[in-house]
């Protein structure tokens, strides 16, 4: 590991805290420039297998999941910490609900459920990557719900 500021690898751990389920948070200080930052270590389930819609299986890839999310939140006011939190929550849910094989749809659903609370636009983008999972009619219904929070109608004044 290197300092994000000066790239020195002379780092000191100031503080270690156990995070929620299977994660460890460490406060670090660069001995080169004094910069302080935190890292989160998580236990990765190497045995988790994703079952695609066509039945193909591939090993779970957190990076892939993160890439999809980053595409969805591009230019939205969401910070990396929020996205990491969302990813971690999703993974914990998946791990507690499934043993070793998890349908790709379940992962997408779990992510969308949380993303919807974070940012409607990012959620829509993410949902559109997976709209074939949801079926068009449900997707449209969700769209209507998203825009239907205003009271009254458009030609009121
Ligand atoms: Zn440094």
Q: What is the pLDDT of residues 36-71, one digit of tens each?
A: 998 887 766 667 889 988 889 988 887 888 888 888
Residue 135: pLDDT over 60: no
Mean residue pLDDT across the chain: 80
Q: Are 99 and 87 in contact (CB under 8 A)?
A: no
Cα 4 to middle of ligand 1, angstroms: 7
Cα 26 to middle of ligand 1, angstroms: 16
Listed in sequence order, the DSSP H helices in 10-101 are 62-73, 80-97
- State the angle between helix axes of 104-118 and 62-73 in degrees (0 to 180), rounded to the nearest 10: 40
Cα 84 to middle of ligand 1, angstroms: 23
Cα 14 to middle of ligand 1, angstroms: 14
DSSP label at residue 52: P
Cα 90 to middle of ligand 1, angstroms: 32
Instruction: Provide the pLDDT for residue 83.
Output: 82
Q: Are 35 and 11 in contact (CB under 8 A)?
A: no
Global pTM reads 0.58
């Amino acid at each position: 590991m290197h300092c994000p500021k000066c790239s020195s690898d002379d780092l000191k751990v100031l503080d270690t805290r156990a995070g929620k389920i299977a994660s460890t948070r460490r406060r670090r200080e660069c001995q080169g420039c004094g910069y302080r930052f935190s890292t989160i270590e998580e236990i990765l389930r190497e045995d988790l297998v994703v079952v695609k819609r066509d039945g193909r299986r591939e090993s779970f890839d957190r990076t892939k999941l993160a890439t999809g999310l980053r595409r969805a939140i591009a230019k939205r006011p969401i910070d990396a910490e929020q996205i990491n939190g969302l990813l971690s929550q999703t993974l914990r849910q998946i791990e507690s609900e499934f043993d070793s094989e998890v349908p790709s749809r379940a992962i997408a659903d779990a992510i969308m459920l949380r993303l919807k609370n974070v940012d409607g636009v990012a959620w829509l983008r993410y949902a559109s990557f997976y709209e074939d999972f949801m079926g068009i009619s449900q997707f449209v219904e969700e769209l209507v719900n998203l825009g239907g929070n205003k009271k009254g109608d458009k030609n009121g004044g």
